[in-house]
Every structure is written in structure tokens, then in C-alpha cells.
Amino acid sequence: MKRLAIFVFGLAAAMRAAPAQAALNVVTTTQDMASIAQEVGGDKIKITPLAKGYQDPHFVEAKPSFVLILNKANLLIVVGRDLEIGWLPPLITQSRNARIQPGAEGYLDPSTSAKILEMPTGAITRAEGDVHPLGNPHYWLDPENGRRIAKAIQAKLAQMDPANAPYYAQREADFEARLTAAQQRWKAQMAPYKGLKVITYHRSWANFADAFGLNVVGYVEPKPGIPPTPQHTLDVINAMKAQNIKIIIVEPYFDTKTPNSIASNTGAKVLVMPPSVGGVPPASDYFKLFDYDINLLVEAIKATGAK
């Protein structure tokens, strides 16, 4: 009897202690946010990204399993700026999880502290299907924004799990130190090509171009989220011929038919380049994404003789 009492007491103590020791359950909408959250959270958090890096983050198939994942989350980290508006809001509602509703403690939108380009002037509109009504949501592609995202995640984790605040602060500082070193390397690789004119399929690369000195002068899409039209394609071909543009960057989830047709008319090279962690297997974390993209770009620039 005494032994049973000790056992029951021990079990109750273990159950009381469990929540404090359990890792925070963090869900991110993309693998980019998951990678940076992993850098900061280490083994004190458990991370589940929803979209895969090879999917168009504007148009993700909302699987029923996402509702169950969101139901158990302590913290949801989104990209924001309406990037996920086509698929995420109903999932958050269906999760019936009060902790992660927009505005709740467990909802983090790091875009509020990031440098956002292409901010709309005048009235905010989704006219003609523009999927970037609140500025360019592909902001993680500037490492300086990676730094800002990490800081926002660190502050949130420290708020939700104060006992491990020093751990998160140390890991965030370590991430920034490694990022600073990597940025110097990436900038040195890109330095010879400052001002290089390129065409991209979607407006995914505004922050990347800003960070590394590219000049994006046109898009295969007439507007973000709108498929190519014959007239717009002709305009792009003419602009590329007039300005001798030799590189067309295409995100992995777009059809290469129109880019290939533009390339065959202009002598340009189509470069399938992932804008997200997980877009291709070698781009397996935030650092490797830039390593992969910059190496790919530099090789293509050399191969085409683009200037």
C-alpha cells in the first residue's frame, strides 16, 4: 500500500513537471521560417512546417492533416503580408486553437519588423488578382531580414518560455554571427556582377536583388499571381533584346514553357532557382539556400557571358 502511494505521488509529480519540460510545439507556414526558428529554438522547440519549399507559397493545398497539426501548436509563425491568405485563414479557424489565432500570444508575424519592399502607394487593392497587396511578401530572401526574423522569433520564444530565454538569446547571437560571415562570402561572390539585369518569373526576388545588387527589369507574369499573356511575353522579349538581358530566373513550381520560349527568342538562359529552403534537396537550410542560389547564379552568369 505504501509502495503504491509513493508510486501515485511520483506519477502525479511527473505529470505536473511534464508541461514545463516539454518542448514548445511550433508550427511554421514555410520551411524558411522553420529553418530560422530551428536556429533559435534548438532542442527546446519542436517544429513542423506546413508548406514544402518546392510549393508555391501563395497557393498551397490545404490538407486536413494541417488542421490537426495546428490544433496542437503553441506557436504559429507565418510569413505574413497576405502571402498565405489563399489557404491559411480557414485552417487557423478550423484548428479551434485559441492560442494561435491572429492577435493571440501564439501567433507571430515577423514581417512586421522586416524590411518590406514594393509597398503599395494609395489604396490597398487586389485588383486583377495581384497577390502582393501589402508589399512584397518574399522578404526572407535578404539575409538582413533573416536576422530580423530570428530576433522576432527569439523575443517570442523568450516571452512564451522565459526559463529558456538565455538559451534562445545565445543561439540567436550565434546565428547572427554565422550569418554575418556568410553574408560577406555571398556579397564577394556577387560583387563582380553588381547591377546585372535579369528577368524573373514571379516577383519573388525583390529582397534578394536588393541584398546582392541585381537589377530585376521585368517579369514573365504580367502581375504577381497572373499567368503570362502573349502580349506581355512579347513586351518581355523586346525589352530583353533591347537591353541584352541573358538570364531568366524561374521558381521551381512554375511551368517553363513561356520562359523557354522567351529564351529561344532572346538567346537567354532559363535558370530554375528555388526561393525557399527545401525548394531543391541541397537547399536544406537557410544558409544552404543562399549558397545554392548564389552558386547557381554565378555559374549561369559566367556561362552566358551576361554583364
Least distance to Zn ion, CB of residue 30, Å: 12
Identity of the residue, 140 or 168, whose beta carbon is nearer to Zn ion in the bound complex: 140
Identity of the residue, 106 or 224, whose beta carbon is nearer to Zn ion in the bound complex: 224
Which residues have C-beta within 8 Å of that of residue 227, sequence separation ≥ 6?
221
- Distance of CA 92 to CAs 224, 243, 273, Å? 25, 46, 31
Restricting to residues 15-44, which ones interact with Zn ion according to CB under 5 A? none
Which residue of the chain is nearest Zn ion when measured via CB?
A: 224
Identity of the residue, 49 or 225, whose beta carbon is nearer to Zn ion in the bound complex: 225
Restricting to residues 99-128, which ones interact with Zn ion according to CB under 5 A? none
Give the containing element (helix H, strand E) for 77: strand 75-77
Identity of the residue, 110 or 224, whose beta carbon is nearer to Zn ion in the bound complex: 224
| Amino acid (one-letter) located at 283 | A
Burial, 61: exposed, middle or buried (Cβ in 10 Å; 0-12, 13-18, 19+)? Answer: exposed
| Alpha-carbon torsion (75, 136, 127, 240), positive or negative | negative
Q: Which residue has the cell 514555410?
A: 30
C-alpha cell at 35: 529553418
Identity of the residue, 87 or 193, whose beta carbon is nearer to Zn ion in the bound complex: 87
Burial, 5: exposed, middle or buried (Cβ in 10 Å; 0-12, 13-18, 19+)? Answer: exposed
C-alpha cell at 109: 508575424
C-alpha cell at 21: 519540460
Here's the x/- map for Zn ion, 198-237, by CB under 5 A: it reads as --------------------------x-------------
Least distance to Zn ion, CB of residue 285, Å: 22
Identity of the residue, 44 or 202, whose beta carbon is nearer to Zn ion in the bound complex: 202
Least distance to Zn ion, CB of residue 112, Å: 18
Distance of alpha carbon 114 from alpha carbon 134, whole angstroms: 13
Size of the site for Zn ion (CB under 5 A): 1
Least distance to Zn ion, CB of residue 206, Å: 9
Least distance to Zn ion, CB of residue 272, Å: 17
Phi, psi of 270 (to 5 degrees): -85, 125
Residue 151: how many other CB atoms lie within 10 Å: 16
Least distance to Zn ion, CB of residue 220, Å: 13
Identity of the residue, 224 or 279, whose beta carbon is nearer to Zn ion in the bound complex: 224
Least distance to Zn ion, CB of residue 28, Å: 17
Burial, 69: exposed, middle or buried (Cβ in 10 Å; 0-12, 13-18, 19+)? Answer: middle
Residue 96: how many other CB atoms lie within 10 Å: 10
Distance of alpha carbon 187 from alpha carbon 24, whole angstroms: 36
Identity of the residue, 131 or 294, whose beta carbon is nearer to Zn ion in the bound complex: 131
Burial, 144: exposed, middle or buried (Cβ in 10 Å; 0-12, 13-18, 19+)? Answer: middle
Identity of the residue, 81 or 246, whose beta carbon is nearer to Zn ion in the bound complex: 81
- Residues at the site binding Zn ion, with contacts judged by CB under 5 A: 224
